[in-house]
Structure 1
Amino acid sequence: MTPLSIGVALLCVAAFAFLNYVFSYWNRRGVQQLTPYFPFGNFSDLFLGKASFPRVCETLYERTKKWRLLGVYILLRPVLLVNDPQLAKDIMVKDFQHFHDRGTHVDEENDPLSGHLFSLAGEKWKHLRAKLTPTFTSGRLKGMFQTLVDTGEVLQDYIHTCAKNEEVVEIREILARYNTDNIASVAFGIKIDSINNPNEPFRQIGRKFFESNFRNNMRLMITFMVPKLNKYFKIKSVDAEVEQFILGMAKETLEYREKNGVVRKDMMQLLIQLRNTGTVSVDERWDVETSTNSKKLTIGEVAAQAHVFFLAGFETSSSTMSFCLYELAKNPEVQRKVQSEIDSVTALHDGKLTYDSINEMRYLECCIDETLRKYPPVPVLNRECTKDYKVPDSDITIEKGTAVILQISAMHHDPQYYPDPLRFVPERFLDPDMKGKPYAPFGDGPRICIGLRMGKIQTKVGLCLLLSKFNFELYGHKESELVMSPNNFLNTPVNGINLKVSCRE
C-alpha cells in the first residue's frame, strides 16, 4: 500500500470511530435511541425537505411513545425527546430550576432582534420577565380592547363585501392581515389597513418571516436546536430587511412620542415606560416619568420586545382563528352552537362586544381551546438543561447543556389522552377530568407565554365579530384533514384554508 492509501484508510477508520462515539452518546447514558445516520442523525426527512421539524418529532413519538425518553441526533448534536407528559410538566414547572433556558441563539450585539424575552437566558430573562409582567394585567388589556374591536369592525366590513359577492375566501391570508393590523397598532402604535391593502409594509414583513419555504424552516430549526451554527455561520434570526424595518419603526415611534408627548394605550407605550424608568407602572398609568435609578432598555431592546410581540401575536392568533373557522365550517352544528352563545351573551350587554362579555362566552373558549389542542401554535417546546438533572424513578441523569424537546403536539394527538384525537370536540374542555391531561399550547410554568391572555382576547374578538354576522362553509377541501407543508416549522396548510362565506339571516 502507498503512504497515501494508508493515510486515507487511517482517516476513514478515525472518522468511523469518531461517528460511532458521537452516535452512541445516549446508549452510553442508558437512554434508548433509534439508529442515527450521518450526516443528518435522525432528521434526514427534515433536511431533505420531506417533512417539517414538528412532523419528524411526532413520527418519532408515534414509534417510541412507550419510552419516557428518546435520545436522537440533529446532525451530530444529541437531543432528548420527552414523551412522558408528567416528566414534561415537571421540566416546565416543578423542576424549572434545572431547565430555565431555551438554549436558543441570542447575540444582542450582532443580531439585536434576537435579544427578546422568548430567547433570553438566565438572570437577564428573569429580570425582564418580571418587568414586563404588568404589561398584561386585566386593566392593561381592557385599555387595549377597543383597538382590537375597531380593527375587527374593518374585518367585518371586508368579509361582508365578500359574502355579498358570494366569494370563496382564503381565510388564513385575510386573518393574517387582520392580526397584522392589530399587532401593528398595539405593539407599535401604528394605524394601518392591510385588510384592504395587502401590500402594506408590515404585512410584507410578516409574510417574509413566516413564508413557507426551506430556508425559513432551516433558520428556525437551527436557531432553536443547533444555535452554535448561528454563531459559526453568522446566521441572523431574521433577514436584514426585516431587522432594518423593525429597528427603524421602533426608533421612529419612540422618538416621535417622546418629542411630542404622545401617550397611547398600547404595548409600545409600556415599553417606553420601561425604557425611561426601568419599570412598567403597576398602578395602570400609561404616562412616563423619567427615572435615573433603574436599569433602562436600549432602543435595540425595545425593538426586540416589540418584534417578538408582533411575531408571536400575529402568528398565534391568525393561525388559531383560521383553524377554528375551518373546524366550525367542517362541523356546522358546533358553529351554530357557538353562534347562539355569542348572540345570547351579546344581547345581555346591550348588543355590544365588551371585555366582560367575551369572557362570559364559555363555549367559544372551549372551541378555541380545542383548536389549540389540535393545532398548537408551537408544536414542540424546547428547553436546555442548565443544571444536571436526575430523571425521577430512573438511573438517568440529563447533563447540563443538553437540548430537550417536549412533545406537545404529539401528546395532544395521542388517543391515550384524547379519544378520537382528530375529531373536533369542544366539549372535551367542559370535562372536569381535563385538568389531568397533557395540554400546553403556550407552554407552562415560569416560561409560559407572557402574552397568552392578549392572544386569546384578540382571537375571541375576531371570531365573535365574524360569527355574529356570517356563516362559514368548507370549499374545495376533499381530504378529511388538512395537509400541512413539509417546509414550515409551524402548522401551515399546503393549499391554505378556503371557505365560502355568507351573511347570517
Structure 2
Amino acid sequence: MISISNLTTLLSFPYLCLIFLSISFYVYLRATISHHTWKKRGIPLLDPVPFFGQWEFSRIFHESYFEIINRLYEEARSKGLKYCCIFQFSTPTLMLLDPQIIGSILTKDFAYFSDRFDLHYDETQAISQQLFSVSTADWKEISKRVSPVVSPGRIGYLVQEMESIDKDVIFNDVPSVVSTDRFAFKFNQMVMGLASLGSDLARNASSVLESVKHMIDHGFYNFFIFYTPLVLPSLRKSFFPKIDDEELCSMVRNVSMSRENIGDHRNDVFQFFMDAQAKQEKRNKKSSSSNSSFDVDILTVARRLFWFLMDSQGTSTVALSFVLHLISLHPECQKKIKQELEQVMEERGEQEVTYSVVRDLKYTHTVIKECLRLYTPMSVLQRVCTKDYLLPGSSVVVPKGTKVIIPIYSIQRDPQYFPEPFEFRPGRFHDVTKIAPYTFMPFGEGPRFCIGYRFAMAHLKYTIATLVSKFHIEAASTKQNILALHPFSPAILRSKKEIMVRFRKRFSKSEESVT
C-alpha cells in the first residue's frame, strides 16, 4: 500500500517531469519508427513533425486543407518527386503527383484501389447511403439503382422543369448585391427542391434542407469532425451529426400518400426512387426472401433522397459560387455566353432553354470547366490500397491498407500542365485533346467517376446561361481571380471572405444597343 509520503514523492515536480518526458519519448519513438518504416520501403518522406505530421498546430487554424495539401505538393514537386509519403497527424498517407501513375491507379489497376477511406461512420445512420464513403461493392449496388436518375432523358426533364421554375419563381427575387455562396445555396435549393423533388416534397422538406445546409456549411464543428478521424478515428461516430430517420421517413410517406391520392405521377427524382421501391416490393412478394442486400424500403428511399440533396447541394453550390465570382470579373466572357445562348436558340428555333440547347452551349461549357479547374469543389481524390501493389516504373511496393490521396486541386493549378495557371482562360478547354490525361479531374476518374457529372454540368450551364441572359453580373467585393480559402471548411472549397457580386438587370436588346 502506497503511503501518503510516498504518494507525495511520486507527485512531486521532478517525478511529474519524468513521467511527462517518458510519455513524450514514447510518443516520439512510435512516430519516428513509423517515419523510418516508410523510408525503408523506398517511398520519399516529406519531413514530418512527430504526432502532428505536416499539420503543424499553428497552421491548421489559418490554412485550409486545400492550401496545406498544395504546400506539400509544391514541396514534393520542387524535389522532382512522383510520389511521397505525408503524415496527416499520425496517419501515413501516400500522395501521388505523377499523372501516369495516377492513371494506372484510377483505371487500369483500379482493383487494387477500389475503396475510399474508411470514415468510421455509423452504419445505422443516413451517412451509410452516401456514395463518397461506401465500399466499392456497396457503391456498385447503389450507383446501379441511382444512375437512371441522371440519364439523358431524365436530365432533359429536369432542365424543362428548371425552365418553368425560372419564369415563375427565381429571377424575380434576385437581390442587387448578394454573397455568391448564399445565392448559390438558395438557388440550388430551389432548383433541386422543385425540379428534382417536386414542389410538394420541397414544402415538406424545410427542416431536412436545413440539415443539409448545416452539414455543408463551414464552421469549427465541421472542421472538427473532418480532422477527428485523422487523429482519433474511433470518435468519428460520436461526433458526426445524426440525421432524424423518422423525420425523413415521415416526409417520404406524406408526399407519397399525397401524390397517390390525387393520381400525381411525376418524372422527378422522388418518383423514381418510389417506383424502384414498388418494383422491389413486387419482387419480394414473388419470393419468400429477397436475394438483394439492397432492398429498397422507405428508410432507404429517404436516405438516398437526403444524400442526393446533400451531394448535389454541396458541390453545385461551391461550383456555382466560384463561377459567378470569375465571370463577374470578366464581362467579355458574359457577353460571349449571352451571344452563344441566343445563337443556339435561334438556330434550333427554340423559345425556351431546352436540354438540346444546353448541350450545344460549347463556350459556356469551357467557361465552367475553367472555373472547375481553378476552384475544384474537392481538394483530393481518396483511395485505399486493397492489396499489395507495385508502383509502375519502380520497385516500391505499396502495402495493403495504405491510404492514398491524389491532390487534384494542386495538379489543376500546376504550370507544367496549365501554363499561367492563375489566369482565367476558358480557351484551354476548346481542344480537350491538348489537356494532359489525369490532370483535370473535378469529377474524379475511372470506374468511380461521379455518376452525376452530366446532370451537374447541365445544371451549371443552364443556370449560368440564363442568369447572364437576364443580368449583368459585376464584382462587388474583390477584383482578384485567386482568393484565400477558409480554414474551417476542409472538406469543401470555401472562400475565406464572402464574395459579393452585383446583379444588374439587362434592358431589352434595343435599349442595350442604345446604351
Coarse TM-score class (shorter-chain normalised): 0.7 to 0.9
Aligned: 1:204 with 2:204: no
Which SS does the other structure have where 2:85 is aligned? strand
Letter in 2 for 1:275: Q
1:384 deviates by 1.0
Letter in 1 for 2:54: N
Letter in 2 for 1:397: V
1:99 deviates by 0.9
Q: Determine if contact 1:113/1:301 at 8 Å carries over to the other structure.
A: no
Give deviations 1:157-187, integer Å, cap 9, x for gaps.
223xx4xxxx322232112111012222355
| Partner Cα separation in structure 2 for residue 255 and residue 38 of structure 1 | 58
| Partner Cα separation in structure 2 for residue 46 and residue 269 of structure 1 | 50
Give deviations 1:16-39, integer Å, cap 9, x for gaps.
432221233321211111222233
Aligned: 1:156 with 2:168: no
Aligned: 1:382 with 2:388: no
Q: Determine if contact 1:61/1:410 at 8 Å carries over to the other structure.
A: yes
1:3 deviates by 8.9
Letter in 2 for 1:464: A
Which SS does the other structure have where 1:484 is aligned? coil
2:509 alignment partner in structure 1 = none
Which SS does the other structure have where 2:344 is aligned? helix
Letter in 2 for 1:104: D
- RMSD of Structure 2 on Structure 1 (CA): 2.9
| Partner Cα separation in structure 2 for residue 439 and residue 11 of structure 1 | 45
Question: Residues 329 and 234 of structure 1: is their aligned pair in 2 closer, same or farther, counting only changes over 3 Å?
Answer: closer
Question: Residues 480 and 183 of structure 1: is their aligned pair in 2 closer, same or farther, counting only changes over 3 Å?
Answer: closer
1:321 alignment partner in structure 2 = 320
Aligned: 1:117 with 2:116: no
Give deviations 1:110-143, integer Å, cap 9, x for gaps.
3233332222113222222223222221112222
Query: Which among 64, 72, 75 is matched to residue 60 of structure 1?
Result: 72
Question: Residues 414 and 187 of structure 1: is their aligned pair in 2 closer, same or farther, counting only changes over 3 Å?
Answer: same
Aligned: 1:444 with 2:459: no
| Partner Cα separation in structure 2 for residue 177 and residue 137 of structure 1 | 25
Q: Determine if contact 1:470/1:502 at 8 Å carries over to the other structure.
A: yes
| Partner Cα separation in structure 2 for residue 338 and residue 31 of structure 1 | 47
Aligned: 1:78 with 2:92: yes
| Partner Cα separation in structure 1 for residue 321 and residue 124 of structure 2 | 36
| Partner Cα separation in structure 1 for residue 224 and residue 56 of structure 2 | 13
2:6 alignment partner in structure 1 = none
Letter in 2 for 1:268: F
Q: Determine if contact 2:97/2:406 at 8 Å carries over to the other structure.
A: yes
Letter in 1 for 2:151: T
Question: Residues 114 and 218 of structure 1: is their aligned pair in 2 closer, same or farther, counting only changes over 3 Å?
Answer: farther
Question: Residues 276 and 201 of structure 1: is their aligned pair in 2 closer, same or farther, counting only changes over 3 Å?
Answer: same
Question: Residues 370 and 173 of structure 1: is their aligned pair in 2 closer, same or farther, counting only changes over 3 Å?
Answer: same
Question: Residues 442 and 428 of structure 1: is their aligned pair in 2 closer, same or farther, counting only changes over 3 Å?
Answer: same
Superposed counterparts of 1:361-440, under 5 Å: 361-437=361-437, 438-440=439-441
Which SS does the other structure have where 1:234 is aligned? helix
| Partner Cα separation in structure 2 for residue 233 and residue 357 of structure 1 | 45
Structure whose alpha-carbon radius of gyration is higher: 2
1:400 deviates by 1.3
Give deviations 1:236-283, integer Å, cap 9, x for gaps.
54x23666654543454456556776422111222223323249xxxx
Superposed counterparts of 1:287-366, under 5 Å: 292=286, 295=292, 296-348=295-347, 349-366=349-366
- Give the TM-score normalised by the residue count of structure 2: 0.85
Which SS does the other structure have where 1:101 is aligned? coil
Give unpaired runs (5+ residues) of structure 1: 280-287
Aligned-residue identity in percent: 26
1:168 alignment partner in structure 2 = 177
Q: Determine if contact 1:181/1:191 at 8 Å carries over to the other structure.
A: no
1:284 alignment partner in structure 2 = none
How many residues are treated as equivalent by the alignment? 482
Which deviates further from its counterpart, 486-495 or 246-255? 246-255
